[in-house]
Amino acid sequence: MESRKTFRDWKPNEYVHQPVTPSEVLPEDDLVFFLLDLVPQLNLGPIYAYYERETRGAPPFDVAMMVTLLLYSYSVGVFSSRKIAAACERNIAFLAIVGSQRPDFRTISDFRKNHLQPLGDLFVEVLAIAGQLGMVKLGNLALDGSKFRANASRHKAMSYGYMKKEVQRLRAEIDALLNQAGQTDAEQDAALGSRRGDELPEELKRRQDRLEAIEEAMQRLEQEAKERAEAKRREREQAQAEREASGQKPRGPKPKPIPDTPEDKAQTNFTDSDAKIMKTSNKGFDYCFNAQVVVDEGFQIIVGADVTPAANDKQQATPLAEDTLTNLDAAGMERPREDDGTEAKIPLTADTGYFSEDNVDDLETRGFDPYIAVGRQKHNQSQPPEADSPPAEATPKERMAQKLRTESGRETYAKRKHIVEPVFGQMKQARGFRQFLLRGLENVQAEWKLVCLTHNLLKIWRYRFAPT
């Protein structure tokens, strides 16, 4: 049956006769052009200096081009070096960056690996730009963390209990191999020919290497167990001091001593020993890192960022506050002032996972006004009546609870969710960053700074330069 509908002409080969350039296809205020203008103005001196010391081989790709390529890739959710290299061949926005210079995936991977630290240092420069544009208000900061999978296989892990058995087995096998080697020296000398004859047999070397790796992993678990026990003892002493201050008598049986040795079920991973088993959002468990951010209320600009292998957030409030102040000072941002000219305290909100007396004291000492929940509140649970002021004998926990029951306290704390939680959603859902590509805590921390600075770049572009 002949169709009466008229369709547009389809000529898939027509592009062969029509040169296409990115500037003709992409809008002039596209993100890629924003980065092409911005990146050469950043301080790339430390990266250029790296190549001044290296005179061998062919000339490297231009540093500004490679940095722009990485920042654009992370901004649009392309993190794999292989996918970035493929996009440089097919994606017109990537072609606007590299032109006729097409780096392969190994070059991209090596550039990122060799310059992780200076790339992460660009975080402060981007933060300074946001401050100059009036996008950092310091009226309310929110602190939170989220688990991101590590680049570590669960199949390359071992428990402490299994390690002890494996060490015994390997030592027995090594002793047996050494005895066998001593009995067959003459035969081995004849078989080795011109070689020295003192090389370790492959079976013995393989077992010896495995034994050393396991013993090293056991030492890591033992050190972590000692640090964890010390932290639990401090928490127990603090809780005891709170009970004594409030006049409460201890309840229940006397607490058991805290062991310094790892449990048999404690695990470590051999592909990334810094990664730890953590509970994930799907109610499962996986090797993860705990990524932390401090976000400003105004435009959701990240002002502090760090990564820790600890699943618990309680020990992260002080380091993140210190990192935030360091970044603000390095970015040249002035603190808010009271009417009399004195430096005002910066409100900082966090959920109950960050509460402790020490955290509250540390934050106040550093110039913050903390609003930290002291416990979880069930849905539809009514707030207790607001008190005029806490009694003089109130504990720090009771004073914080009363502070959050005031009208201003409720209003300030209620903003926490829509300040910081959408940031993780934008990273995980919109950009697809759910797993670190690199291994080792230092590398992961630098990669996280790269993710956070591209988040800030997107905010700057969208609110100041993107088409409306």
Q: What is the pLDDT of residues 306-345, one digit of tens each?
A: 999 888 898 899 999 999 999 999 999 888 888 777 888 9
* 423 and 318 within one domain: yes
Cα-based angle 148, 149, 155 (whole degrees, multiple of 5): 165
* 210 and 100 within one domain: no
Side chain identity at residue 85, one-letter code: A
Asked whether the beta carbons of 359 and 372 are under 8 A apart, the reply is yes
- State the residue for tokens 């630098």: 446
Q: Which residue has the higher pLDDT, 319 or 58?
A: 319
Residue 459 confidence class, pLDDT cut points 50, 70, 90 = very high
Domain membership flag for residue 402: yes
* 186 and 100 within one domain: no
User: Mean pLDDT over residues 158-170, rounded?
Assistant: 62
User: Mean pLDDT over residues 374-401, rounded?
Assistant: 68
pLDDT at 346: 93
pLDDT at 186: 54
* 310 and 250 within one domain: no
Asked whether the beta carbons of 74 and 460 are under 8 A apart, the reply is no
CA 123 from chain centre, in angstroms, equals 13
How many folded domains does the chain comprise? 3
pLDDT at 272: 74
* 301 and 374 within one domain: yes
* 309 and 391 within one domain: yes
Domain membership flag for residue 261: yes
For the ranges 37-46, 279-288, 322-331, the lowest mean pLDDT is seen at 279-288
Residue 383 confidence class, pLDDT cut points 50, 70, 90 = low
Residue 424 scores a pLDDT above 80: yes
Domain membership flag for residue 171: yes
Task: Give the number of residues written for the chain.
Answer: 468
What is the domain range of residue 183? 155-191+199-269
Residue 355 scores a pLDDT above 80: yes
* 140 and 237 within one domain: no
* pTM for this model (two decimals): 0.78
pLDDT at 277: 81
* 167 and 264 within one domain: yes
User: Mean pLDDT over residues 89-103, rounded?
Assistant: 90
Q: Among candidates 468, 436, 461, 96, which has minimal Cα distance to 278?
A: 436
pLDDT at 297: 94
Residue 446 confidence class, pLDDT cut points 50, 70, 90 = very high
Measure Cα distances from 408 to 6, 300, 404 in Å.
65, 21, 8
* 159 and 148 within one domain: no
Query: Left if phi > 0, otherwise alpha if psi is -120 to 50, otherwise beta: which for 308?
Result: beta
Residue 385 scores a pLDDT above 60: no
Exposure b/e, 273-308, CB count within 10 A at least 16 = b: bbbbbbeeeeeeebbbbbbbbbbbbbbbbbbbbbbb
Residue 110 scores a pLDDT above 90: yes
User: Mean pLDDT over residues 251-263, rounded?
Assistant: 73
Residue 447 confidence class, pLDDT cut points 50, 70, 90 = very high
* 304 and 257 within one domain: no
Q: Which residue has the higher pLDDT, 172 or 354?
A: 354
Domain membership flag for residue 338: yes
Tell me whether strands 285-296 and 141-149 are parallel, antiparallel or unpaired.
Answer: antiparallel
User: Mean pLDDT over residues 365-387, rounded?
Assistant: 74
Residues 126, 127, 129, 131, Cα dihedral to 10°: 170
pLDDT at 434: 92
pLDDT > 70 fraction of the chain, expressed in percent and rounded: 74
Q: Which residue has the higher pLDDT, 339 or 46?
A: 46
* 35 Cβ contact list (under 8 Å, min separation 6): 68, 71, 72, 75, 97, 457
Domain membership flag for residue 430: yes
For the ranges 167-176, 225-234, 238-247, the lowest mean pLDDT is seen at 167-176
Domain membership flag for residue 457: no
pLDDT at 444: 93
Domain membership flag for residue 72: yes
pLDDT in tens, 65-92: 999 999 999 999 999 999 999 999 999 9
CA 133 from chain centre, in angstroms, equals 26
* 301 and 422 within one domain: yes
Residue 31 scores a pLDDT above 80: yes
Residue 278 scores a pLDDT above 90: no
Residue 193 scores a pLDDT above 80: no
User: Mean pLDDT over residues 213-236, rounded?
Assistant: 71
* 61 and 31 within one domain: yes
pLDDT at 160: 57
pLDDT mean across residues, the chain: 82
User: Mean pLDDT over residues 412-419, rounded?
Assistant: 92
β-bridge mates for residue 346, sequence order: 368
CA distance 116 to 159: 32
pLDDT at 339: 78
Domain membership flag for residue 452: no
pLDDT at 118: 92
Residue 59 scores a pLDDT above 70: yes
CA distance 331 to 316: 22
pLDDT at 338: 82
User: Mean pLDDT over residues 157-161, rounded?
Assistant: 61
Q: Among candidates 459, 460, 467, which has minimal Cα distance to 27?
A: 467
For the ranges 151-155, 203-207, 269-273, 376-380, the lowest mean pLDDT is seen at 376-380
Stated as kind and residue range, the H or E segment containing 307 is: strand 302-308
Residue 162 confidence class, pLDDT cut points 50, 70, 90 = low
Residue 177 confidence class, pLDDT cut points 50, 70, 90 = low
